[in-house]
Amino acid sequence: MQRRDFNRLCGGLLAGAANLSTSAMANTEPYPRSGLVYDDGTPVSVESLEPGTSCVFSYPYVTTPCFVVRLNTSAKRRDNWQGGVGEDESVVAFSAICSHKMSHPAKPISHINYRADKVSFYDRSGSKQEQANVISCCSERSVYDPVNGAAVLSGPAPVPLAAIALEVGAEGQLFAIGSSGADQYERFLTKFGFRLAMEYGVTDIRARVGEQTVATLAQQFSSQQIRC
Ligand code: FES
């Protein structure tokens, strides 16, 4: 990490320390702090997110998509994961890059989506399950549990989605401050770089997001959402 990034991270952590509802875990890779905003510049707060909805935002690179999800339930801190932020611990964020073959939300279509409704799947013991509040990748049917750190519930995904650490600022705005887990960013950028440059309209696919990153409702980010 560059010194400039490190200094900004430390400054952000110190400034926000008194107001945080949740802080990053020790295992979090500290990427620069970036405030989530809607495309009109309005800050994204816990209250602005409807329960059962998700948005897509770029972090930590301008071309690496993540989900921020307002769950219908709380997500408790556990092991190496910070849990949900907000008073009801319902807001979580994860990389939207599937840990299997890196399926991800693209502008024309997304095979990986947060589902507030019940999804049917076979768990790892072969038993049929139905569960709401999951992230489902229909490419080869991996299912993740965002209430439990995006643990793998079903399918070929080898590991959980990378977790994005969130802070709640003094005014209630959500900030992304780091990433933990198997993030795959470099592999993703190498594999999809050419297409990402065109889709996001950037020349440097490895540019970090700035002080703000735009969050778009998932159903608006991708023209078509595949549900299975
Ligand atoms: S890429 Fe998601 S299950 Fe294969």
CATH number, domain with residue 167: 2.102.10.10
What span, in angstroms and rounded, lies between the C-alpha atoms of 88 and 47? 11
Mean pLDDT score across all residues of the chain:
90
* Ligand 1 centroid, distance to 77 Cα (angstroms): 26
Pocket test for ligand 1, best of 67, 95, 101 (most atoms within 8 A of CB): 101
What span, in angstroms and rounded, lies between the C-alpha atoms of 207 and 104?
19
The helix (run of H) or strand (run of E) holding residue 8 is helix 3-16
Residues with Cβ within 8 Å of 53's Cβ and at least 6 positions away in sequence, in order, are 69, 70, 114, 116, 217, 218
What does the pLDDT read at residue 30? Answer: 84
Of 121, 123, 61, nearest in space to 96 by CA: 61
Ligand 1 centroid vs 4 CA: distance in angstroms? 36
What is the total count of domains within the chain? Answer: 1
Per-residue pLDDT averaged across 197-203, rounded? 97
d(CA 142, CA 48): 29
pLDDT band at 48 (very low <50, low <70, confident <90, very high): very high
- How far apart are the CA of 112 and the centre of ligand 1, in A? 8
Q: What is the 3-state secondary structure (H, E, C) of 166-227?
A: EEECCCCEEEEEEEECCCCHHHHHHHHHHHHHHHHCCCCCCCECCCEEEEEEHHHHCCEECC
Specify the 3-state DSSP secondary structure of 93. Answer: strand
Angle at 33 between CA 28 and CA 34, to 5 degrees: 125
Cβ proximity of 32 and 60 under 8 Å: yes
pLDDT digits (tens, 9 = 90+) for 184-199: 999 999 999 999 999 9
Does 54 map to a domain? yes
In a domain, 156, yes or no: no
Domain presence at residue 203? yes
Distance CA 160, CA 183 (A): 10
**Span 133-181, pLDDT tens digits:** 999 999 999 999 999 999 999 999 999 999 999 999 999 999 999 999 9
Return the structure tokens found at 91: 């807001």
Q: How far is the CA of 187 from the centre of ligand 1 (A)?
A: 15
pLDDT at residue 15, as a whole number? 37
**Residue where the block lists tokens 């019940």:** 118
Evaluate whether residue 90 is within a structural domain: yes
Six token digits for residue 44: 């994204």
**Residue 88 resides in a domain:** yes
Structural domain that includes position 210: 3-103+161-223
Residue of 113, 139, 228 to test ligand 1 pocket, by largest number of atoms within 8 Å of CB: 139
Q: Stretch 38-52: mean pLDDT, rounded? A: 97
Confidence of residue 24 (pLDDT cuts 50, 70, 90): low
What's the whole-number mean pLDDT along residues 95-124? 97
Q: Distance between CA atoms of 37 and 15, rounded to whole angstroms? A: 19
